[in-house]
Chains A and B, each alone.
Chain A
């Protein structure tokens, strides 16, 4: 499945993972970005370094690991990966279960982070992300206005006239843990 101009794809969504610690989780984030050809290996070291400088923990059990300014040279294309660690990872004292890993050489990912920003303030959607069991759910949460199918134009998210009722406003129950 390819959508959103390939910045976030089903290939970069990995669910049900486990990590020993923060460093292991960042390694896994880096491995996904390397694996899809978005970055070269040195970018992963920069992700660790960036984390050491200032934590990328953003609240609500979520972190956004990414490289530093000088590491941009190792970015081949803008990509976002979503890694889910249901068991949680100790992120310097805060538990993290969602990593949104970023490699950017432009602003093509900006709307994904805008959506994440609203998700972090919406208990229902962030809970659904934490408990998502398939990539399609994650894609829908991050790209709520994208129509299903391969012919999604990247700018449909800006369309006001075509805005639809978000899928999570239905009667489906979410976050049914336990």
Chain B
């Protein structure tokens, strides 16, 4: 269990690569990644999808379904891991874009 002071954080303005992770990396993550890629392209942020066990080392922020956050955080303890509940229109997606645009810290 991490203490709150150990939660990985990144300045939204420094995010260059977002990875959407799911168990198999063949369905849910692909769908979310393609939506986010369109929204974040204007900020020169790339979006990739991956299975939880194959998250690229250069990912700045990792997104996954809420149920997978704990597992994903164990795999990439040094990266902010943010959970979403809805595939469409989850508030996290807007928050992520806003943080990237305005340079707000992202922690998770």
Contact = CB atoms under 8 A, between A and B. Distances in A.
Nearest to B68: A54
A68 B24 contact: yes
Contacts, number: 66
Interface residues of chain A: helix, strand, loop or mixed (majority): mixed
Interface residues of B, number: 21
Given A58-B31, A60-B88, A110-B30, A69 B67 contact: no
A43 to B, nearest CB: 11
A66 B28 CA distance: 9
B36 to A, nearest CB: 9
Given A68-B23, A69-B23, A69-B53, A113 B34 contact: yes
A11 B28 CA distance: 23
A53 B53 CA distance: 17
A103 to B, nearest CB: 8
A68 B24 CA distance: 5
B88 A120 contact: yes
Nearest to B51: A69
Given A59-B88, A116-B31, A54 B24 contact: no
Contact of B31 (A68, A103, A107, A113): A113
Contact of B67 (A54, A60, A72, A110): A54
A36 interface: no
Interface string B47-83: 0000111000000000001011000000000000000
B35 interface: yes
B26 A104 contact: yes
A163 interface: no
Interface residues of A, number: 27
A25 interface: no
A114 B51 CA distance: 17
A17 interface: no
Interface in A46-72: 50, 53-54, 56-60, 64, 66-69, 71-72
16 contacts: A50-B24, A53-B67, A56-B27, A56-B28, A58-B31, A59-B87, A59-B89, A66-B26, A67-B24, A68-B23, A69-B51, A71-B24, A109-B26, A109-B30, A110-B30, A113-B27
Interface of B: 23-28, 30-32, 34-35, 51-53, 65, 67-68, 86-89
Given A57-B87, A110-B34, 8 more contacts: A54-B23, A54-B65, A58-B88, A64-B31, A66-B26, A66-B27, A104-B26, A110-B30
